[in-house]
Structure 1
């Protein structure tokens, strides 16, 4: 009896230490990022290149779209939360398609019609999407409110906001109106390619992790860390909004 109790205490302490270590490393990593990375700013080299070229440049914009998604930590955190407990490929395909439909729609419409939206607010909402999904994975809405929000609808809606976030970065390129539509479509294709590449890497890691005994044991800690990252993103963007 005592040995069982002792083992239980040891496991609890180990889990607590694991949570603290994950959270500490997460905070250090996020705080260690430069302001440019946190703001998800466009690289100066890419920006200068786009400002110099005119006409239809499908390959260049496809590359830029893929690069932006693969290095887009905020989008990747949300995707990680979405597929965290999805095991079947058809389910993953449905949610990823809804996310792609959402961000493709608003990204194209906002750039084409030049809709003005504050980038700090949009990025804060993107951070909120990470928090929402982490809480969903933790079953918080069932415990707090007694109901489960429609996860497919939520993925689509947050996809719209992620699209607004992508479009703010496109506007930073100051794209020439000559060839705008085909270049935007190429950028969007690049985003989808980048999303598939990033998703493949996430799924490879997740598939190995899910085969271990520690997956279920550490799933709670991982989603708490995910939620913490979302709150940090929200706080950083809102601070930028009030200071800018």
Structure 2
């Protein structure tokens, strides 16, 4: 049973229909290269911890936030993360505590985005601990796949393609920002209508 939730977790994060989560993980890992994989693993885990907390609180009906607000806030977190990458002056990531804080806090918001999906899966199930753990581990696994792909592509482009690290970061983060900004506009429309 828990294996089913693990599978649903990684499939959910890797689903192109929910590309907002993919964009956020890309933005989180855009400034890193393969040799910095440990930093990114901790960063993604901070994100997972954040969304695990609000996912549990929402599934237990302790926290209730309108879906339209969450659908607006998720792309805002992506825009902020991508913009902070763009505005970064140094070539290598320095202030990791700030990045971990972003990841943890934004994970809280993204967890609310997963909650409706998970609530529909759980139905009236009494014990949610094992399914919740399985789902979160699946999400973490899916995020690691995304990070590995981004870091592999970044490594190829920067090290083999001889593109400057800063230029690659600007390109990737700007692309993510542009897509997320359009999502913010859609989110505003969704809250107004």
Q: Which bracket does the TM-score occupy, shorter chain normalised?
A: 0.7 to 0.9
Which stretch of the first structure deviates more once superposed, 81-90 or 125-134? 81-90
**Aligned mates of 1:76, 1:153 — CA distance in 2:** 19
1:201 paired to 2:149: yes
- Give the aligned partner of residue 63 of structure 1: 7
- Give the aligned partner of residue 98 of structure 2: 150
Unaligned runs of 5+ in 1: 1-56, 143-148
Partners of 1:135 and 1:141 within 8 A in 2: no
- Give the aligned partner of residue 50 of structure 1: none
Describe the SS at the equivalent of 1:150.
helix
**Aligned mates of 2:113, 2:86 — CA distance in 1:** 26
TM-score normalised by the chain length of structure 2:
0.82
Partners of 1:65 and 1:190 within 8 A in 2: yes
1:239 paired to 2:183: no
**Aligned mates of 2:168, 2:14 — CA distance in 1:** 26
1:206–1:224 CA distance, 2 compared to 1 (3 A): same
Q: Which has the higher contact order (CA 8 A, sep 6+)?
A: 2
Q: Deviations over 1:81-105 (max 9, x none)?
A: 1111123122212211211111111
1:174–1:89 CA distance, 2 compared to 1 (3 A): closer
TM-score normalised by the chain length of structure 1:
0.67
- Give the aligned partner of residue 213 of structure 1: 162
1:81 paired to 2:30: no
CA offset at residue 242 of structure 1?
2.3
CA offset at residue 239 of structure 1?
1.6
**Aligned mates of 1:215, 1:192 — CA distance in 2:** 30
Q: Deviations over 1:1-38 (max 9, x none)?
A: xxxxxxxxxxxxxxxxxxxxxxxxxxxxxxxxxxxxxx
1:141–1:208 CA distance, 2 compared to 1 (3 A): closer
Q: Deviations over 1:157-187 (max 9, x none)?
A: 1111111111122234362324433222221
